[in-house]
């Protein structure tokens, strides 16, 4: 099985790429989804976050206040490192288990979406890496459409490597500043054509 790691800058189309790949029959796991699962009520990681960051990042019903936590960690690199130390080992173990299940099932390929693929030195764990990218103007527009102000955008960008550095290190680059059809066609070429994992 060929295992791809897919990354890209914030707002550049990683989640959309994952959805398009799934429609093409590719096995996909998104680490952002895993991160959200690990902070659900009752999860051990949530208890660690409470111990580390205190009740200020929690809602009255005991659920994590994701927006408050984001404001905290994206304005404080040390706090972000503490959160990553809680979540990243769990996330990596989980997607590794999923990838092994794909191998056991005899799939031809699979994709793991990891925003911080290069930052976490995960690239050697993959057979090939893909970077989704778009223009800076399109990225800024997409992030503003999320409701983020200029400070939030700059904090998110500062928390990741520049897109150009990720592009330079990747085996494939998929340009998302285009139509969904063109985006999907690029991904299909990288995967080796239609029906890469025939049932």
pLDDT in tens, 88-99: 999 999 999 999
pLDDT-based confidence at 198, cuts 50/70/90?
very low
pLDDT, mean of residues 169-197: 89
Q: Say if 54 falls within a structural domain.
A: yes
Q: Provide the pLDDT for residue 192.
A: 86
Q: What angle do CA 95, 88, 76 make, to 5 degrees?
A: 150
Note whether residue 31 is domain-resident: yes
Residue 198, domain member (yes or no) = no
What pLDDT does residue 92 have? 96
Domain that holds residue 52: 2-191
Rounded CA-CA distance 50/62 in Å is 10
Would 140 be classed as within a structural domain? yes
Provide the pLDDT for residue 197.
Answer: 53
CA 105-109-111 angle, 5° bins: 110
Residue 108 lies in a domain: yes
Q: pLDDT (tens digit, 9 = 90+) per residue, 11-67?
A: 999 999 999 999 999 999 999 999 999 999 999 999 999 999 999 999 999 999 999
Q: How far apart are the C-alpha atoms of 86 and 84, rounded to whole Å?
A: 5
Please compute the mean of the pLDDT values over residues 75-87 and round it to a whole number: 95
Total structural domains in the chain? Answer: 1
For residue 133, being part of any structural domain is answered with: yes
Quickly state the pLDDT bin for 196 (edges 50, 70, 90).
low
Q: How many CA atoms lie within 13 A of 165 on its CB side?
A: 9
Mean pLDDT of 3-7: 98
Tell me what pLDDT residue 105 has: 96
**Average pLDDT over the chain, rounded to whole?**
93
- The CATH number of the domain holding residue 67 is 3.40.50.300
**pTM summary value:** 0.90
User: Is residue 58 within 8 Å of 64, Cβ to Cβ?
Assistant: yes
| pLDDT at residue 199 is higher than 70 | no
Per-residue pLDDT tens for 148-178?
A: 999 999 998 998 999 999 999 999 999 999 9
- Residue matched to tokens 């960008």: 157
Q: What is the mean pLDDT of residues 112-140?
A: 96
Residue 37 belongs to a domain: yes
Mind spelling out the 3-state secondary structure of the chain? CEEEEEEECCCCCHHHHHHHHHHCCCEEEEHHHHHHHHCCCCCHHHHHHHHHHCHHHECCCCCECHHHHHHHHHCCHHHHHHHHHHHHHHHHHHHHHHHHHHHHCCCCEEEEECCCCCCCCCHHHCCEEEEEECCHHHHHHHHHHCCCCHHHHHHHHHCCCCHHHHHHHCCEEEECCCCHHHHHHHHHHHHCCCCCCCC
Q: Is residue 23 part of a domain?
A: yes
CB half-sphere exposure, 138, CA atoms < 13 A: 14
């Amino acid at each position: 099985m060929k295992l791809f790691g897919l990354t890209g800058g914030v707002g550049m189309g990683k989640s959309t790429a994952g959805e398009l790949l799934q429609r093409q029959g590719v096995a996909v796991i998104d680490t952002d989804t895993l991160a959200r699962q690990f902070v659900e009520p009752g999860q051990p990681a949530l208890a660690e976050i409470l111990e580390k960051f205190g009740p200020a990042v929690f809602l009255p019903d005991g659920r994590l206040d994701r927006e408050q936590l984001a404001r905290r960690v994206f304005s404080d690199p040390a706090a972000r490192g503490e959160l990553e130390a809680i979540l990243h080992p769990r996330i990596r173990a989980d997607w590794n288990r999923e990838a092994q299940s794909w191998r056991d099932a005899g799939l031809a390929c699979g994709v793991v979406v990891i925003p911080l693929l290069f930052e976490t030195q995960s690239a050697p764990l993959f057979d090939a890496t893909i970077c989704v990218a778009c223009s800076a103007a399109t990225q800024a527009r997409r992030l503003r459409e999320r409701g983020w102000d200029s400070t939030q955008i700059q904090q998110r960008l500062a928390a990741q490597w520049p897109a150009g550095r990720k592009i330079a290190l990747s085996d494939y680059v998929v340009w998302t500043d285009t139509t969904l059809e063109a985006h999907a066609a690029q991904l299909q070429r990288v995967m080796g054509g239609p029906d890469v994992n025939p049932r």
